[in-house]
């Protein structure tokens, strides 16, 4: 009789556990996203930065191109000798550093969003085709990726921009041409892994075409990895744009960029450290936010981790 009690309670435990598992299976995606602190913190920062960039003409305290040599090299508001209204001081031409940071965010986020999206589309399409159809398609795409990755990415981007010409479109094109291989390799490997799963075999058994299986079955399972990779690529695009701006191969000198501000601040760091420190801090925090967002999205969107 004593031995029967534990055996009788086992079905009750399973019954009580079943609703919990079912509830977690039906749990909305937004709850998993909010449960990831990295997604919440990094996403909030990037959303705020995007709003600041969009409404820059109304948020920036001054015209970022306005020069006043009488107010050059003013320190930040908390330092001695500061002037009211210049929260982060001025550069050697008397331009407001805060306003230039805000307008520089426009360039950084535009390049990050457009370049990462285009690189993801190009690389993902080739990766899906190579991983699913194999054979000649996989061989051709793999050889192309190997050849592309033989070139140093930063030097190749500088060479491409120098050939195409400076400007925001040239920077975006250069990043897409360089970084599509990253998406192609990851998506190809993930597609090959998904193609060996039982659900793909079942889809073939019931008569799904190869195209339907690729689009309706495999692509949704590759999407979580792809979304996380896009976020990471945005951080890389911000760095590449800053490097090109640093060497003067990004947008025109009239448009403020974080890389251009870093190049300018490096020359006067002994007289005005804040001109260099402000864009460096923004670049570091923004890239870190993109990386943390990518890691958080990968965990939140992973179907295995959500169970």
Average pLDDT over residues 39-61: 94
Complete DSSP assignment for the chain: -TTHHHHHHHHHHHHHHHHHHHHHHT--HHHHHHH-HHHHHHHHHHHHHHHHHHTHHHHSSS-TT---GGGTTPPPTTSTT--TT-TT-B-TT--BHHHHHHHHHHHHHHHHHHHHHHHHHHHHHHHHHHHHH-HHHHHHHHHHHHHHTTS-HHHHHHHHHHHH-SSHHHHHHHHHHHHHHHHHHHHHHHHHHHHTSHHHHHHHHTT--HHHIIIIIIHHHHHHHHHHHHHHHHHHHHHHHHHHHHTT-SS-TTS--HHHHHHHHHHTTTT-HHHHHHHHHHHHHHHHHHHHHHHHHHHHH-TTTT-
Check residue 215 and give its pLDDT: 87
Domain CATH code at residue 141: 1.10.3720.10
Q: Is residue 21 scored above 50 in pLDDT?
A: no
- Structural domain for 244, as ranges: 48-301
Residue 32 within a domain: no
Q: Is residue 16 scored above 60 in pLDDT?
A: no
Check residue 19 and give its pLDDT: 39
Residues 221, 235, 32, CA angle at the centre, nearest 5°? 40
Q: Which residues pair with 96 in a beta bridge?
A: 90
Q: Give the least confident one: 48-57, 76-85, 99-108.
A: 76-85
pLDDT band per the 50, 70, 90 thresholds, residue 27: low
pLDDT band per the 50, 70, 90 thresholds, residue 5: very low
Sign of CA dihedral 82, 87, 90, 95: negative
Check residue 303 and give its pLDDT: 58
What is the distance in angstroms between the CA of the first residue and the CA of the last residue of the chain? 37
Rounded CA gap, 288 and 270, in Å? 27
Residue 62 within a domain: yes
Check residue 203 and give its pLDDT: 85
Model pLDDT for residues 139-177, shown as the tens digit of each residue: 999 999 988 888 887 788 888 887 887 788 888 998 998
State the residue for tokens 């993801």: 120
Average pLDDT over residues 237-258: 85
Q: Tell me what the pLDDT averaged over the chain comes to.
A: 84
Rounded CA gap, 125 and 180, in Å? 10
Rounded CA gap, 181 and 179, in Å? 5
Average pLDDT over residues 26-47: 82
Average pLDDT over residues 30-54: 89
Residue 1 within a domain: no
Q: Are 18 and 24 in contact (CB under 8 A)?
A: no
Model pLDDT for residues 74-102, shown as the tens digit of each residue: 999 998 888 888 999 999 899 999 999 99
Check residue 302 and give its pLDDT: 66
Per the structure, the count of domains in the chain is 1
Rounded CA gap, 266 and 260, in Å? 10
Q: What phi and psi, each to the nearest 5 degrees, are found at residue 19?
A: -60, -35
Check residue 18 and give its pLDDT: 37
Tokens matching residue 299: 């965990």
Q: Is residue 6 scored above 70 in pLDDT?
A: no
Residue 40 within a domain: no
pLDDT band per the 50, 70, 90 thresholds, residue 10: very low
Tokens matching residue 265: 């601040």
Model pLDDT for residues 204-241, shown as the tens digit of each residue: 888 888 888 888 888 888 888 898 899 999 999 999 88
Residue 10 within a domain: no
Q: Are 112 and 235 in contact (CB under 8 A)?
A: yes
Mutual orientation of helices 168-195 and 97-133 as an angle, nearest 10°?
A: 40
* Burial (Cβ within 10 Å: 0-12, 13-18, ≥19) of residue 6: exposed
Residue 22 within a domain: no
Residue 115 within a domain: yes
Q: Are 239 and 258 in contact (CB under 8 A)?
A: no
Residue 17 within a domain: no
The pTM (predicted TM-score) of the whole model is 0.84
Model pLDDT for residues 277-304, shown as the tens digit of each residue: 999 999 999 999 999 998 888 877 765 5
pLDDT band per the 50, 70, 90 thresholds, residue 26: low
Q: Is residue 254 scored above 80 in pLDDT?
A: no
């Amino acid at each position: 009789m004593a031995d029967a009690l534990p055996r009788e309670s086992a079905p009750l435990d399973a019954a009580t556990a079943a609703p919990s598992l079912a509830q977690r299976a039906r749990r909305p995606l937004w709850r998993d996203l909010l449960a990831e602190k990295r997604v919440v913190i990094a996403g909030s920062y990037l959303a705020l930065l995007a709003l600041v960039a969009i409404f820059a003409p109304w948020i920036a305290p001054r015209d970022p191109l306005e020069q006043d040599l009488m107010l050059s090299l003013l320190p930040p508001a908390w330092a001695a000798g500061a002037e009211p209204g210049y929260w982060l001081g001025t550069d050697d031409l008397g331009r407001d550093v805060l306003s230039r940071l805000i307008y520089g965010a426009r360039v950084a986020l535009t390049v990050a969003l457009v370049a990462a999206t285009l690189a993801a589309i190009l690389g993902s399409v080739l990766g899906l085709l190579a991983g699913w159809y194999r054979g000649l398609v996989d061989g051709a795409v793999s050889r192309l990726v190997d050849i592309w990755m033989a070139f140093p990415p930063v030097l190749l981007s500088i060479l491409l921009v120098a050939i195409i010409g400076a400007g925001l479109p040239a920077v975006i094109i250069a990043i897409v041409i360089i970084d599509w291989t990253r998406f192609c390799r990851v998506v190809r490997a993930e597609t090959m892994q998904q193609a060996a799963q039982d659900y793909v075999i079942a889809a073939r058994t019931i008569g799904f075409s190869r195209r339907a299986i690729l689009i309706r079955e495999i692509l949704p399972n590759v999407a979580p990895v792809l979304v996380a990779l896009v976020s990471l690529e945005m951080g890389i695009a911000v760095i590449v744009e800053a490097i090109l701006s640093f060497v003067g191969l990004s947008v025109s000198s009239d448009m403020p960029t974080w890389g251009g501000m870093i190049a300018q601040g490096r020359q006067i760091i002994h007289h005005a450290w804040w001109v260099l420190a402000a864009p460096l801090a923004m670049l570091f925090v923004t890239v870190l936010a993109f990386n943390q967002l990518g890691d958080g999205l990968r965990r939140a969107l992973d179907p295995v981790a959500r169970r």
